[in-house]
Chain A
Amino acid sequence: MLGRTAASLFWMSRYIERAENIARLTEVGYRISLTPDVGFGHREDWKSTLIAAACLDGFMAKYETISAEKVQQWLLFDRDNPASVRSCLETARNNGRAVRTALTREMWEALNSTWIEFSAIKPADLAAGRLPEFLDWVRMRSNLFRGSLLGTLLRDEGYYFSQLGAFVERADNTARILDVKYYVLLPSNETVGGELDAYQWETILRSVSAHRSYRHVYKDRYRPWNVAEFLILRHEMPRSLRFCYNWVDRSLEGLHALTGNGTAGCEQAARLHGELRQAGMDDIFQSGLHEFLFDFMARNNAVSATIARDFHFN
């Protein structure tokens, strides 16, 4: 398999995952903006959404002030934003098209019809409260793509590269959402673990479709401590850092077995995965949640870079 083919499969999955995550983040922003101000002083909901999506700098360079309409336009439709849903879906499709022969027909149809349907949607159509419907659609299309991949793709190199892209991206996103919660939403006079912001923690759980599964696991109301544990350490939570790294680790092992290549990435991922399995929330809060997440994101990026190097992505 060409290095470029591997890179395209990796990025195709990453961008589909990213489109889904941007839609989830937008949904969080939208929900928060609908709730009454619960007394945190100034509200910067949309700003926090932009930060979580790593889109603030680009946004501020184009617009001077933040408004719901502008942020939604930027996150969903703007071509100038490489992480907008539009850019993600287009980039994913172009990556898929470049390696058409490495995809199954169903995967290609999922990518292609998503892009064709998206192209027919006008931003103006989403006024009048139709935003949630659109965000649902983005999630469903991501599910369709994932389903066709899992249901039809041969379990060889191509499969592992696709899985790597999806889980590296998902891990990054979960860490980012938590981190934003930590240092943007938390009022400065509150300590982590306070009660005031429980509502917003719930919203974070909603953004990863986990507000109900949380209750199954913890049988308790939303406690920040538990929410963080749920999203970082629980192996049964499919968007947790540990769950993602279990997959990154396994995929790299699979690739190593097939190609004899990728030792460096395997080691990095195995170490990170091992640490996540050993860690407890006490240690994490002690050394600082933000520091922990920041370190994780940097190491996740490093794994991604090592994969690209090991497998000759360019």
Chain B
Amino acid sequence: MNTKHSSGTEKPAFFDEMILPDGTNRPPYAEVARWLESQTRPMIQRKQQEAASIFRRLGITFAVYGREEANERLIPFDLIPRIISASEWRFLERGIEQRVRALNAFLHDIYHRQEIVRAGRVPESLINDNEAFLPEMVGFDPPHGVYSHIIGTDIVRTGENQFFVLEDNLRTPSGVSYMIENREAMMHLFPDLFSKHRVRPVERYPEMLRQTLESVAPSGCDGDPVIAVLTPGIFNSAYFEHAFLADQMGVELVQGSDLFVENGALYMRTIRGKNRVDVIYRRVDDAYLDPLAFDPTSMLGVPGLFDLYRAGRVTIVNAPGTGIADDKAIYAYVPEIIEFYTGEKPILNNVPTWRCGVAEELAYVLDHLPELVVKEVHGSGGYGMLVGPAASKKELADFAARLKARPSNYIAQPTLALSTCPAATVTGFAPRHVDLRPYVLVGDRVRITPGGLTRVALKKGSLVVNSSQGGGTKDTWVLED
């Protein structure tokens, strides 16, 4: 019986991170490809089981919590690393830094003089009528002028030098705990591989996060700033990550009920009495931060927190109101935004996007509907979305009617040929589509962790990398020269 874990069962049909069309391997993968050749199926299966038990033990799970459900689910982990060369990473890093600086400048501008609107580069209605625009933030200056401190930039690749930003995720991006624990698991499972590569470390992320949070403490804060991670609580699906980050940074994990505002300061209740808090890394949405300022029914927030923030007595990370800059309607304008604030051409491209609110772009979209993906500008999670190539004639016709009725509610993008990377499947190694989410920290300076979270669509042919739909993750290696 042939137990070879062959990679020959499925040939890549798209740009593949490892295998070139002529069957040779791309240089960053040379060593890993040799290693894969030597692996048998039972060896891989054993390692796969070992990986699952490591994750369960570490508790890296995302919770599906009902009263009946005690098992947290594990996100499938694929053993084959996704590898990025030093030069590719330099390029990505420059592009990401340019982008996050421009988006923070944009946020500062739209909550102040709105020069970009005055200059006619972004329509006024897109800002001021946008639900994600928070009028309460107008005129306020956060420390260092930073609004979005913790960013997960979703990047896809379609060719050797073709990278595109798919989403900016400027609110409360999650998944960074997987980036760190995936590396832990890989180093445990395959120490030999690490001795044959110079892989840049990712485990400094919590330290860098702490430095970033300290750097944006209120100006009046004397001594070491006290930091806390604010979680909605144990029933939140990302609760483990909240606890993980607090633990790794050595700061308290708090819930709204642990905090209170008194005499112009924020405190947490400790066993020694009240303890001042200077910086809140919140994993709670804007609407629930403060029942006095936003949703009055919220039990998750802290009454009076927002006033305190506006008075500069505490820093909220990320700032409220950052959602306006990762809105899908704004996304289409990001190239203009980068040029407007940096005077440079964008290094990383957007996915080409047609704004249906513009008459000639709508005409193009209606003509090419079967090949496009059309999204609602405020929708998320795939709701109200049309995937042209997968839609029936009737669905296309229905959607065209909706488009014509409310064109400015939609954007359209080409169906992207996402790159693939080999993954271990039940029948052998096979190419599966991947994306990449590097994690970016913005405080006194920009800190980018070399690596990120690679999500992989484990179903054959699937382009959907979400964990809720059969997606998994891979360790992501950035190599040194």
Contact = CB atoms under 8 A, between A and B. Distances in A.
Nearest to A1: B271
Contacts, number: 59
A2 B258 contact: yes
A105 interface: yes
Point out which of B59, B67, B270 has the most chain A C-beta atoms below 10 A from its C-beta.
Answer: B270
Nearest to A89: B70
Interface in A1-15: 1-4, 6
Interface stretch (A25-33, A92-100, A195-203): A92-100
B258 A101 contact: no
B273 interface: yes
A119 B268 CA distance: 35
Contacts of A261: 271-273
B70 A119 contact: yes
A312 B240 CA distance: 25
A235 interface: no
Which secondary structure dominates where chain B touches chain A? mixed
Interface string A130-158: 00000000000000000000000000010
Interface in A258-314: 259-261, 311-312, 314
A200 B196 CA distance: 72
Contact of B67 (A2, A79, A255, A311): A79
Contact of B246 (A6, A79, A98, A101): A101
A100 B68 CA distance: 21
Interface in B226-275: 233-234, 239-240, 243, 246-247, 252-255, 257-258, 268-273
Which secondary structure dominates where chain A touches chain B? helix
A119 B68 contact: yes
B71 interface: yes
B254 to A, nearest CB: 7
Contacts of A116: 70-71
A261 B270 CA distance: 11
B238 to A, nearest CB: 13
Counting contact residues on chain A (CB < 8 A from B), the size range is 20 to 34
A115 B70 contact: yes
Interface string B407-421: 000000000000000
A108 interface: yes
A260 B240 CA distance: 32
A98 B68 contact: no
B254 A312 contact: no
Interface of B: 57, 59, 67-68, 70-71, 233-234, 239-240, 243, 246-247, 252-255, 257-258, 268-273
29 contacts: A1-B270, A1-B271, A2-B252, A2-B268, A2-B271, A4-B254, A4-B255, A6-B271, A94-B234, A98-B234, A100-B59, A100-B243, A101-B246, A105-B57, A108-B59, A109-B57, A119-B68, A157-B271, A255-B271, A259-B272, A260-B272, A261-B272, A311-B271, A312-B269, A312-B270, A312-B271, A312-B273, A314-B257, A314-B269
